């Protein structure tokens, strides 16, 4: 047997050396597959993770498991739309938010899924469900927050890097030949004028209006005075969010499962999630790979978010 194994290994090495076989050090992502994490019933509740910073940009590190969250959510919802046994959607949210557009796209996709499948959606906020994370949550029919959750942060922030002083220190001068005076608005290589600041403020106000519109549509019972109060961007604990009308109740992930089952009119249901081959999940708290919210905040790539200097509009709580 050892002689045969030696011959096989030698043959494989010869093929690799000859270029007939290629071995990838960074395997490509495989299609998602269903994994049951709780229960045995035929009817299913799909648990979907909204974790980490919400962005269409995956990790640039080939060793990282992080992937494009927007594409991942779309892939999961497409699979779920084809499965008639899925009777409810449970959003497990652990995110401080992210880019304006990525947050809005995920919110839109969830609403489209609800409209087509006519099934209830329940959101459970874990550690953090702030700003863009909360923006996504209001697509749900019911929102549950942990007693220790942080949510709110209804607002917009624009990140801009000013590298003018740094360039002056190292003796580098940047210039632009442009077709109009506002063509390089937001450039990190020169000061921002008051007129340009007013233009950006107008855009931010528009994105804020969009945020408030989404919250108003999703939280029809939210009093107008409370909406005005939280529109300053403040964060709240779970209990404070319940008092303000941003969240329906305090509870845990199991309470979210019970709520989803009740809204779907099910006596019993098993909880499933979608995973890549090789991923290990054995219960409802098993975390999605590479999506730790606290880690994402600690390692937040500011320059990556602002694309090397270009202003970026964010629904993001970033203390």
**Residue-level pLDDT, tens digit, the chain, 319 residues:** 556 666 666 665 665 565 555 555 555 667 899 999 999 999 999 999 999 999 887 554 444 456 789 999 999 999 999 999 999 999 999 999 999 999 999 999 999 999 999 999 999 999 999 999 999 999 999 999 999 999 999 999 987 776 666 666 776 766 778 888 888 787 777 778 899 899 999 999 999 999 999 999 999 989 888 888 999 999 999 999 999 999 999 999 999 999 999 999 999 999 999 998 877 677 888 875 544 555 555 545 554 544 555 678 999 998 7
Count the neighbouring beta carbons within 10 Å of the beta carbon of residue 43: 18
131 labelled catalytic: yes
Handedness of CA 236, 240, 242, 246 (dihedral sign): negative
Whole-prediction pTM: 0.83
pLDDT at 63: 45
Partnered with residue 6 across adjacent β-strands are: none
By the 8 A CB rule, do 235 and 150 touch? yes
Contacts 24+ apart (CB under 8 A), 62-65: 62/26, 63/26, 64/290, 65/289, 65/290
Domain positions in the chain: 25-174+185-316
Q: Which residue, 134, 302, 129, 100, is CA-closest to 208?
A: 100
C-alpha 312/C-alpha 294 separation (Å) is 21
C-alpha 262/C-alpha 270 separation (Å) is 13
By the 8 A CB rule, do 143 and 256 touch? no
pLDDT at 68: 87
Of residues 116, 178, 182, 183, which has the active-site annotation?
183
183 labelled catalytic: yes
Tokens of 291: 């999506």
Superfamily of domain 25-174+185-316: 2-enoyl-CoA Hydratase; Chain A, domain 1 (3.90.226.10)
Q: Which helix (H) or strand (E) holds 52?
A: none
Of residues 103, 131, 153, 187, which has the active-site annotation?
131
């Amino acid at each position: 047997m050892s002689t045969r194994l030696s011959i096989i290994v030698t043959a494989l090495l010869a093929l690799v050396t000859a270029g007939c076989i290629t071995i990838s050090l960074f395997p490509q992502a495989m299609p998602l597959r269903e994994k049951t994490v709780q229960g045995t019933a035929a009817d299913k509740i799909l648990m979907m993770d909204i974790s980490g910073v919400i962005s269409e940009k995956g990790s640039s590190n080939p060793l990282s498991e992080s992937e494009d969250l927007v594409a991942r959510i779309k892939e999961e919802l497409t699979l779920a739309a084809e499965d008639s046994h899925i009777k409810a959607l449970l959003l497990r949210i652990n995110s401080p938010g992210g880019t304006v557009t990525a947050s809005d796209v995920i919110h839109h996709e969830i609403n489209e899924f609800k409209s087509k499948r006519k099934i209830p959606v329940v959101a459970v906020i874990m550690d953090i469900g702030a700003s863009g994370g909360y923006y996504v949550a209001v697509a749900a029919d019911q929102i549950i927050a942990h007693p220790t959750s942080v949510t709110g942060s209804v607002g917009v922030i624009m990140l801009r890097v000013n590298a003018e002083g740094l360039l002056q220190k190292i003796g580098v001068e940047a210039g632009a030949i442009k077709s109009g005076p506002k063509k390089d608005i937001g450039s990190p290589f020169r000061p921002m004028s008051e007129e340009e600041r007013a233009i950006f403020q107008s855009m931010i106000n528009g994105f804020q209006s969009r945020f408030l519109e989404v919250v108003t549509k999703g939280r029809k019972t939210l009093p107008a005075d409370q909406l005005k109060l939280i529109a300053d961007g403040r964060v709240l604990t779970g209990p404070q969010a319940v008092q303000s009308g941003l969240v329906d109740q305090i509870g845990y992930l199991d309470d979210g499962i019970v709520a989803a089952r009740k809204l779907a009119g099910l006596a019993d249901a098993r909880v499933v999630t979608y995973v890549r081959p090789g991923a290990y999940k054995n219960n409802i708290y098993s975390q999605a790979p590479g999506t730790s919210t606290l880690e994402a905040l600690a390692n937040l790539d500011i320059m990556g978010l602002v694309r090397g200097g270009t202003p970026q509009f964010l629904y993001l709580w970033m203390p």
